C-alpha cells in the first residue's frame, strides 16, 4: 500500500502528469489497416469542416430540404457505383411501398432474399442513395437485396415507418419467399428499424425472418449508454446534437423507449431470429451494439457480437475495400447463408 501511495504521489508531482492530450476527434487510429486509413483520413477531414457549423435541422421544412438536397447529390453516384460493382438496380413497389431491388450479376433466382433498411437518422438519405452496403452484401451472398425506401421523418413517424417495413415483408411472403428464407438487415437507424420492425412482426403474429444483421445499430434513440458519454465528443462521424433532433422527429419523447423505436427495450424472452450485431470501436453506438446483443442473448435468443478495432460508424459504407469491411461483410453473408432456409 505504501509503495502504491508513493508511486501515485510521484505521478501527481511529475510535470508531465495531466499534459497528455487525448487523440483528436478526427485522427485515424493507428491500429486500422492502411487501406482503411487512406479512405478515413480524407473523410474525417470533410466531417471536421462540416461539424464546425452550429446549425441543426429541427423543423419539418428544414429536414425535408436537407433530405432532398442530399438525395439529389447522392443518388446518381450511388446508382453508378452499384452498377460498376456489377449490380442491377431496379425501382419497384412492394406492399404499396417504394423499394429498390439490387441484384448481382449471374444471379440465380432463389427463395432466399434479404430485406435492407438504410440509415440516416430516420430523417435523411434514400434507398437509391445508399446502395453501397446492399451492393457489398449482394456480391458476398449472391442474394437479391430489397431496399425499402421508407417515408422519412418527420413526414412519417415510427408507427408509419415500421408499418411500411412490415408491409414490404408481407409482400415478400406473398411473392413466395418463406419467412425462414428472408433475412433482414440495416445500418445505423436502419439497424434500429430492422430490430424494431421484427419485434412488430412478432407482435402481429407473422412468421419471423430467418436471421437479422444489425450494423452500427441506433437501437436506443434516448442517448442512453456508457459510450455516449465516453465517445460522444470523439466520434468522427456522429453528432449528438443532430441525433437528438432526429430522435424527436422520429418519435415523441414519451414514445422513445417503445421497443419498436428503441429495440434494446424489447422482450427477447419471446422468439426472435438469430442476430449478428457489428460495430466499430471508434463510434459512440458501441453501447447500442453491446446492449442489443446482451438483450437478445439474455432473453435466451441467439446473438453474435462482432466489433472492429478503430473503425467508425457504418464503416463498410465509408471504406468498402478495406480489409475490415471485407471481413465484416463476408461474416455477415456467411451468417445469413448458414441460417436462412434454402427451399428449392
Residue 32 within a domain: no
Quickly state the pLDDT bin for 9 (edges 50, 70, 90).
very low
Residue 123 domain-assigned (yes or no): yes
The strand pairing partners of 214, in sequence order, are: 186, 277
- Three-state SS at 318: helix
Q: Are strands 97-104 and 87-94 parallel, antiparallel or unpaired?
A: antiparallel
For residue 200, pLDDT over 90 is answered with yes
Q: What is the pLDDT of residue 282?
A: 97
Overall average pLDDT of the 39-64 stretch: 94
Q: How confident is the model at residue 195 (pLDDT cuts 50, 70, 90)?
A: very high
Q: How many CB atoms lie within 10 A of CB 254?
A: 7
Q: Show the cell assigned to 207.
A: 412468421
Three-state SS at 90: strand
Q: How far apart are CA 263 and CA 285, in angstroms?
A: 14
In terms of DSSP H, where are the helices of the chain?
2-13, 34-50, 60-84, 132-141, 158-174, 189-203, 226-230, 240-250, 286-298, 315-318, 323-339
Give the pLDDT score at 133.
98
Confidence of residue 22 (pLDDT cuts 50, 70, 90): very low
Sequential DSSP letters for 52-84 = T------SHHHHHHHHHHHHHHHHHHHHHHHHH
pLDDT over 90 at 309, yes or no: yes
Does residue 344 have a pLDDT over 90?
no
Range of weakest confidence among 190-194, 274-278, 329-333, 340-344: 340-344
**Confidence at residue 12, expressed as pLDDT on a 0 to 100 scale:** 36
Rounded Cα gap, residues 234 and 280, in angstroms: 13
The three cell numbers of residue 343 are 427451399
Asked, for residue 65, whether it belongs to a domain, the answer is yes
Share of the chain above pLDDT 90, in %: 90
Q: What is the mean pLDDT of residues 165-176?
A: 98
Alpha-carbon gap, residue 216 to 235, rounded angstroms: 13
Quick one: DSSP state of residue 23?
Answer: P
Q: What are phi and psi of 92, to 5 degrees?
A: -155, -175
Mean pLDDT of 58-75: 97
CA–CA dist 301, 293 (Å, integer): 10
Q: In what order do the strands lie in the sheet with 275-280?
A: 87-94, 97-104, 145-148, 113-117, 182-187, 211-215, 275-280, 303-308
Is residue 21 in a domain? Answer: no
**85-140: pLDDT as tens digits:** 999 999 999 999 999 999 998 899 999 999 999 999 999 999 999 999 999 999 99
Mean pLDDT of 241-266: 98
Q: For residues 114 and 172, what is the distance between their CA atoms, to the nearest angstrom?
A: 10
CATH number of the domain at 197, please: 3.40.50.1820
Question: Would the pLDDT of 11 be above 60?
Answer: no
5 within some domain: no
**Does residue 96 belong to any structural domain of this protein?**
yes
The range of the structural domain enclosing residue 184 comes to 55-339
Q: Are 182 and 169 in contact (CB under 8 A)?
A: yes
The whole-number pLDDT of residue 47 equals 93
- Tell whether the model's pLDDT for residue 152 goes beyond 60: yes
Give the model's confidence band at 51: pLDDT under 50 very low, under 70 low, under 90 confident, else very high. Answer: confident
For cell 449472391, name the residue: 142
Establish if 14 belongs to a structural domain. Answer: no
Please state the domain count of the chain: 1
Single pTM value for the model: 0.93
Amino acid at each position: 500500500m505504501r509503495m502504491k501511495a508513493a508511486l501515485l504521489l510521484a505521478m501527481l508531482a511529475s510535470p508531465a502528469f495531466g499534459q497528455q492530450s487525448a487523440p483528436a476527434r478526427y485522427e485515424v487510429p493507428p491500429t486500422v489497416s492502411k487501406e482503411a486509413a487512406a479512405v478515413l483520413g480524407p473523410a474525417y477531414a470533410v466531417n471536421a469542416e462540416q461539424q464546425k457549423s452550429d446549425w441543426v435541422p429541427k423543423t419539418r421544412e428544414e429536414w425535408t430540404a436537407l433530405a432532398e438536397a442530399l438525395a439529389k447529390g447522392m443518388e446518381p453516384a450511388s446508382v453508378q457505383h452499384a452498377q460498376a460493382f456489377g449490380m442491377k438496380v431496379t425501382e419497384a413497389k412492394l406492399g404499396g411501398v417504394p423499394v429498390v431491388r439490387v441484384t448481382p450479376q449471374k444471379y440465380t433466382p432463389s427463395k432466399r432474399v434479404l430485406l435492407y433498411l438504410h440509415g440516416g437518422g430516420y430523417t435523411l438519405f434514400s434507398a437509391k442513395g445508399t446502395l453501397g452496403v446492399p451492393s457489398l452484401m449482394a456480391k458476398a451472398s449472391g442474394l437479391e437485396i430489397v431496399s425499402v425506401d421508407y417515408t422519412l421523418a418527420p413526414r412519417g413517424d415510427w408507427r408509419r415507418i415500421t408499418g411500411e417495413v412490415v408491409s414490404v415483408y408481407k409482400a415478400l411472403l406473398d411473392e413466395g419467399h418463406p419467412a425462414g428464407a428472408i433475412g433482414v438487415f440495416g445500418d445505423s437507424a436502419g439497424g434500429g428499424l430492422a430490430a424494431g420492425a421484427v419485434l412488430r412482426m412478432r407482435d402481429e403474429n407473422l412468421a419471423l425472418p430467418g436471421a437479422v444483421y444489425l450494423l452500427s445499430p441506433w437501437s436506443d434513440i434516448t442517448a442512453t449508454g456508457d459510450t455516449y458519454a465516453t465517445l460522444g465528443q470523439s466520434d468522427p462521424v456522429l453528432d449528438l446534437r443532430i441525433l437528438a433532433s432526429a430522435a424527436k422527429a422520429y418519435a415523441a419523447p414519451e414514445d422513445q423507449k417503445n421497443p419498436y423505436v428503441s429495440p434494446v427495450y424489447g422482450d427477447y424472452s419471446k422468439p426472435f431470429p438469430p442476430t449478428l450485431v457489428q460495430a466499430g470501436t471508434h463510434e459512440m453506438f458501441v453501447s447500442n451494439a453491446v446492449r442489443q446483443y446482451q438483450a437478445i442473448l439474455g432473453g435466451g435468443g441467439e446473438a453474435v457480437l462482432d466489433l472492429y478495432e478503430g473503425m467508425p460508424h457504418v464503416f463498410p459504407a465509408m471504406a468498402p475495400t478495406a480489409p475490415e469491411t471485407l471481413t465484416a461483410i463476408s461474416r455477415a453473408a456467411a451468417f445469413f447463408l448458414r441460417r436462412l432456409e434454402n427451399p428449392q
